[in-house]
Amino acid sequence: MEKFEKLSGIAAPMPLVNIDTDMIIPKIFLKSIQRTGFGKNLFDEMRYTRDGAEIEDFVLNKPAYREAQILVAGDNFGCGSSREHAPWAIADFGIKAVISTSFADIFFNNCFKNGILPIVMPQEVVDVLMKDAEKGANARMDVDLEAQTVTTSDGEVFAFEVDAFKKHCLLEGLDDIGLTMAKEKSIDAFEATASQARPWV
């Protein structure tokens, strides 16, 4: 998993509340267990017509937000089913941080496991960030995980809280497999000892 330290990017405003995982990646696309290839179907039903044409008014189809790396969203983002394909689609599109007043628990935890930083902010702060995101591609927002701050294009700084262990994993680029492999020497030593003690196993 790629390390997350600092991010400076375009923020896309999506003020809708209760964006669920089926809106993020509709169930029809859940045909693979590979983590890549889902970005093109992110927000598919809001992003395309039934014949596959882009809906011009959808935020990520607008020229200013096609390269967005930050999403400023409404309350209760990622609710619904627990599909891990939702953060896969977000990451594959290129979004590395999502800011909201609240997230569904399973989606929230899945984000950290897939290199995405979900940031919880009070409503009044999200309102400021949403307004900043509405400025388009000329306004870049900065996210500093080490300092735990989000900085607007005007230089206004807001602090956020993040679990220390989840922060460590993102900074070091460690998913569940990475955390296991970090203890590879201990695992090898245990297996060698166990093999000698129980050679019949």
What CATH number corresponds to the domain at position 71? 3.20.19.10
β-strand pairing of 97-100 with 70-73: parallel
Say if 46 falls within a structural domain.
yes
- Residue pair 6/145 in contact by the 8 Å Cβ criterion: yes
What does pTM read for this prediction? 0.87
Element (DSSP H or E) covering residue 140 = strand 140-144
Q: Which residues contact 2 (CB under 8 A, 6 or more apart)?
A: 115, 173
Host domain of residue 17:
6-197
Kindly report the average pLDDT of the chain as a whole number.
91
Provide the pLDDT confidence category of residue 201 given band limits of 50, 70 and 90. low
**What is the pLDDT averaged over residues 147-175?**
96
**Among 20-24, 40-44, 69-73, 196-200, the least confident range:** 196-200
Say if 28 falls within a structural domain.
yes
Angle 101-28-110 (CA atoms, 0-180°, nearest 5)? 35
How many structural domains compose the chain?
1
Say if 105 falls within a structural domain.
yes
**What is the pLDDT averaged over residues 85-110?**
97
Q: What is the dihedral of CA 11, 12, 13, 18, to 10 degrees?
A: -110
Say if 73 falls within a structural domain.
yes
Element (DSSP H or E) covering residue 110 = helix 105-113
Residue 100 burial (CB < 10 Å; 0-12/13-18/19+)? buried
Say if 47 falls within a structural domain.
yes
- Residue pair 62/4 in contact by the 8 Å Cβ criterion: no
Say if 12 falls within a structural domain.
yes
**What is the pLDDT averaged over residues 165-179?**
84
Provide the pLDDT confidence category of residue 37 given band limits of 50, 70 and 90. confident
β-strand pairing of 117-120 with 97-100: parallel
pLDDT of residue 34: 72
Say if 1 falls within a structural domain.
no
**Among 4-8, 142-146, 189-193, the least confident range:** 189-193
pLDDT of residue 178: 60
